[in-house]
Amino acid sequence: MADYREAFVGIDVAKLRNAIAVADAGREGEVRFFGEVDASEESMRRVIRRIATKFDRVYFCYEAGPTGYGLYRLIRSLGHECTVVAPSLIPRKPGDRVKTNRRDAFALARLLRAGELTAVWVPDEGHEAMRDLVRARAAAVETLRVHRQHVSAFMLKHGRIYPRKKGWTMRYLRWLQEQPFDHPAHQIALQEMVEAVCVSKERVDRLEGVIEEFVPAWSLAPIVRALQTLRGVD
């Protein structure tokens, strides 16, 4: 039992290269810089195996960020524990504003060993795919809103006020098409803006259709259906 060795590995992840530090178990355990390695899956697989051969048990961690959860799934597939850390909850010393990849890797390894890191929830691949799809739909809705605002501002600038309360209906689109302008450039500008609205609306409709198609196979489908029973929620 005395020969049982543990290690705590902090990884500062980046697009091209990852900085790695290894902390031995124990309050006085050594913390050393392993180095910066290529961030590709094959390179990280070799590094993880190389570190793991020197210890009986290895714990890994890295900060949640734009690189996603691929590294987490790789480490787990190799049989090791991994924590994806909430960046905003990492303890930091007052006045410590110097950030380098090496220092961040050292800090993660030490804090992991001390049990002072807060993990984020890591979705499975199916949930992550649905999350990306919902985000794509949210971006499409925002684009549609912006294009509609362009049309509304253009019409207001030219003193064209729609006589009814509800806009963006088929009647409203016909009203837009019937608006005459003295200069053909204004007509063309309006037509292009209305076309942008129509294209954006079609994109939103497509994404909503795909989401509706995939929801039944999603792990959160019962929750989605329960929320849809609320008034105004779809």
pLDDT at 96: 72
Quick check: is 135 in a domain?
yes
Same domain, 102 and 145: no
Q: How far apart are CA 161 and CA 171, in angstroms?
A: 14
Q: How far apart are CA 164 and CA 220, in angstroms?
A: 41
Measured CA angle at 143 (ends 140, 145), to 5 deg: 110
* Residue where a domain terminates, one of 114, 137, 166: 114
Q: How far apart are CA 22 and CA 61, in angstroms?
A: 11
Tokens of residue 177, six digits: 């098409």
> Which residues does residue 62 pair with via DSSP β-bridges, in sequence order?
11, 84
pLDDT at 1: 38
Q: Is the dihedral of CA 84, 87, 89, 92 positive or negative?
A: positive
Q: How far apart are CA 102 and CA 19, in angstroms?
A: 6
Q: 72 is in which domain, residue-wise? A: 6-114
* Residue where a domain terminates, one of 79, 114, 149: 114
33-78 pLDDT per residue, tens: 999 999 999 999 999 999 999 999 999 999 999 999 999 999 999 9
* Radius of gyration for the alpha carbons in the chain, expressed in angstroms and rounded: 27
**In which residue are the tokens 């050594």 written?**
30
Reported pTM: 0.79
Averages of pLDDT over each 10 residues, the chain, 234 residues: 78 96 91 96 96 96 95 97 95 79 95 96 92 96 98 95 91 93 94 96 97 92 92 87
